[in-house]
Each structure stands twice: as C-alpha cells, then as structure tokens.
Amino acid sequence: MKILVANLGSTSFKYSLYNGDESSLSLVARGGYERVTDYGATIRDALSSMQAEGHIDSVDSIDAVGFKTVLGFEKTGCVAADESVVADLRASAELAPAHNPAYANGIEQFAKEMPKAQLVALYETAFYQWASAASRRYAVPKAWYEAGVRRNGFHGASHKFVAERSAELLGREDVADRVRNLYVGGHESFEGQPLRVVSCHLGGSSSVTGIKNGVAIDTSMGLSPQSGLPQNNRVGDLDSMAVTYVMKKLGLSIEEVERQLTKESGLLGLSGKSNDVRDIWEAVEAGDKDAELALDSLVYGIRQYVGSYMFQLGGLDALVFTAGIGENDTGVRERVCQGLEDLGLKLDLEKNANTRGEETCISAEDSRIKVYVIPANEELVIARETSRFLSHNK
C-alpha cells in the first residue's frame, strides 16, 4: 500500500510517500515546495517527479492521501476527507487562518488530481475527544460553547505518537495497543495498571499534554493554537480583559491587537530580540535580561502544566520531550527537570547534555520517573492512521 502524506501551508506544500501497512511503513520519497500559488499545478508536478524517480508507476499507484487537518467545528478524529470535511474546515477557518483554508483547498485539488485515491483527514484535535467535559469547557455562556468556544487542543498527532512510543519503552504493550486502536476501535474501558505520562511538544509552537493509559486527559492549548505556553511569536495564555484594556488604553483596533498577539508576542515579545530559542540562549549568555526572562517564562509555563497534570494523573511514570526544542535543547530540559528529586524525578545530567535529536532515556538509573527524548514523527502518525482507516473501512 502506498500512502502520500500532504503537509499544506498557506503558500507551502510538503509531501512524504510511504509504502507498507500500519505496522511496517517505510518512507519512500519526500519533497516540498515554497511560495505555492497554484496547488493543482504543484500537486501535478510532485506526482510527476515521484513517477519520474520511479517511486510510483502512475498516479493510480497511490492508494490514499493523508492530511493533518487542524481544526473543525463539527468533526474530529480520523475520517474520510470528503466535501463535509472541506465545509467544516472553511467554517472554522477564522481560528486557524494559516492552515484551514490551505487544507480545504488542498483536499479539493487532490480529489481532482487523484480521483481513485482515498482521502483521509486526521484532525489535530482528535487525540483530545475523550478528555472530560470539565477540562474542555470554558466558563462562558452556553451559547458561546454551542458557537464553538471550547478547549480543542492541538499537536494531537505528535502527542499520540508519544503516548504509543512511551508505552512501548516502558514495557506496556497493553497501553500501546490501546493507543494504536483509539481512532478505529473507539475509546474502550481500561482495566490494567495505570500508566501516567506527560508529553512536552516544544518547538516554534508548543504544548503540554497529560496522558493516562494512552488517552489524553488535558492539554495546554485551548480554543486555538494561540493559548497555553508562550509560542514563538504568539502570546500563549492571556487574561481576556487585556484585549479590551489595550484597545482603550493604547487606541488599538481589534485587527491591530490580533496582529500583535499573533506576530509580535510570545518569545519574541518577551525577549525583544528573536522568536528562536537558539538566538535567545545566545543573548542570555551575553547577559541580556529580557532574553533571560523569555527563557524563564517558557520553562515556568512548562513546569506549571507538568505539575498540574502530575496532580491530575495522581503521579507520573514518564516525562517526555519531543519536537525541535524538546529534542535538541539540553538547557531547557535541564531547567524543566531541576529540583524535582523529592518527587521522584532525577535527570542524568551527562546523558541530557549529550542527547540531541535521538530517542534516549535521560533520567538517572535511580529515578522513579523516567525521562525520555522521543523524536517527533507526525508524518508517520498520519500515514499509520490513514492505513488503519483504510483497513477498517474496506
């Protein structure tokens, strides 16, 4: 089985071609385009390139296309990417303006270019559909909730991968098997010994998720990717009254407030220098106090969510770092884990300092709570879920 994973941005298109089934998928080809103005032409060019390079015999050789759709009002989970999905993405585009229109357009273009392929959408919100109502509701009027104002959660593919892989590393195949079958088999009751994991997806966009027995109980992002931790240039958590206050105090329009919250806030707003943690570390080492504040705020936010989920879970078996910062920033990992020995978490400083981008356990031998670095692989997750969807919907 050949599965094409399409990663669509407002002006970008990246693809990964996999071959095999859900248990043995191998990467065959990868490519990408920037400054895309015509998705149809770009898709045709990508398909021609894969054919010319011998990865596919024809367009019809590809069995399915998987999409990492972000957010919908009416849909979640892993579903057929049909006209109803396109309509759902467009209806909720205001909350994900950089992604939803691109995926809606891309799905339509793929349907035209590859009419025989099964199109599958894996929503980023899918991993959170079984979280409790208390964790998903805001304290707003019911009409707001019915209009879509709720805590959705994002980075679902990444956190689901961590849930499955951490269970495997901890020798809990019962939990790993449960995670594999969440979207095709549903959320079934679990009678085994509890497995409690906190997953930290830290990158340009960051979130923390609490996971019990392979299922998310809560996550730091809410209605949109604006919330939670300080993002690269997005604000993170903010008191809602701040918006109306600065509009009156600084004379800002709602459009300007939105621009500043999405373009000039987060780590960039705190540091005043950069939204890249590598640049911020350089400024910290040069004695820049604003850069130090940006780094401290990020670490503080991560620890705040980790502590909250540890309490909700009733303890912790593993803390996992993933994505660009999580996999490569030894200093952030060390600061997050600092001073937690009395809670049963002890970092191996040497292992941590020498771990960048590879799967490793970086906790000390006598640490009760395991600490892992697990590289993110969202494309593989989408390919696996697409394969499972096809297998269960023949």
Q: Does residue 39 share a domain with residue 116?
A: yes
How many Cβ atoms are within 10 Å of 239's Cβ, its own excluded? 7
Q: Does residue 367 share a domain with residue 305?
A: yes
Residue 262: which domain range? 170-373
Classify the phi-psi angles of 15: left when phi > 0, otherwise alpha if psi is within -120 to 50, otherwise beta.
Answer: beta
pLDDT at position 254, please? 94
Beta bridge partners of 33: 13
353 lies in a domain?
A: yes
Q: Does residue 69 share a domain with residue 11?
A: yes
CATH code for the domain in which residue 180 is found: 3.30.420.40
Beta bridge partners of 373: 321, 360
48-83 pLDDT tens trace: 999 999 999 999 999 999 999 999 988 999 999 999
251 lies in a domain?
A: yes
- Helix intervals (H) in the chain: 39-52, 83-91, 100-113, 133-136, 142-146, 156-169, 173-180, 182-185, 241-249, 254-263, 266-271, 277-285, 289-313, 323-328, 330-337, 349-353, 378-392
End position of a domain, from candidates 91, 123, 155: 123
Q: Does residue 179 share a domain with residue 30?
A: no
Find out whether 324 is annotated in a ligand binding site: yes
311-356 pLDDT tens trace: 999 999 999 999 999 999 999 999 999 999 999 999 999 999 999 9
pLDDT at position 65, please? 97
Best CA proximity match to 92, nearest among 121, 56, 49: 121
300 lies in a domain?
A: yes
Q: Does residue 241 share a domain with residue 112?
A: no
Find out whether 339 is annotated in a ligand binding site: no
pLDDT at position 74, please? 87
The number of residues in the chain equals 394
Q: Does residue 320 share a domain with residue 257?
A: yes
Dig out the tokens for 201 from the structure.
Answer: 């997806």
378 lies in a domain?
A: no
AA letter at 274: S
Q: Does residue 79 share a domain with residue 182?
A: no
pLDDT at position 184, please? 84
End position of a domain, from candidates 123, 149, 182: 123
Q: Does residue 177 share a domain with residue 34?
A: no
Rg (CA), the chain: 21
Distance of CA 139 to the CA centre of its chain: 25
Find out whether 14 is annotated in a ligand binding site: yes
Q: Does residue 207 share a domain with residue 104?
A: no
Find out whether 328 is annotated in a ligand binding site: yes
Is residue 335 within 8 A of residue 359, CB to CB? The reply is no
Find out whether 378 is annotated in a ligand binding site: yes
Is residue 200 within 8 A of residue 271, CB to CB? The reply is no
103 lies in a domain?
A: yes
Edge-to-edge strands, sheet with 64-67: 26-33, 13-19, 2-8, 64-67, 118-122, 78-80
144 lies in a domain?
A: no
pLDDT at position 203, please? 94
Q: Does residue 187 share a domain with residue 90?
A: no
Find out whether 180 is annotated in a ligand binding site: no
Find out whether 218 is annotated in a ligand binding site: no
Q: Does residue 192 share a domain with residue 300?
A: yes
Is residue 52 within 8 A of residue 44, CB to CB? The reply is no
Find out whether 7 is annotated in a ligand binding site: yes
Low-confidence ranges of the chain (pLDDT < 50): none
End position of a domain, from candidates 123, 145, 180: 123
Q: Does residue 358 share a domain with residue 221?
A: yes
155 lies in a domain?
A: no
Find out whether 204 is annotated in a ligand binding site: no
19 lies in a domain?
A: yes
How many structural domains does the chain have? 2
71-115 pLDDT tens trace: 998 899 999 999 999 999 999 998 888 889 999 999 999 999 999
AA letter at 124: E
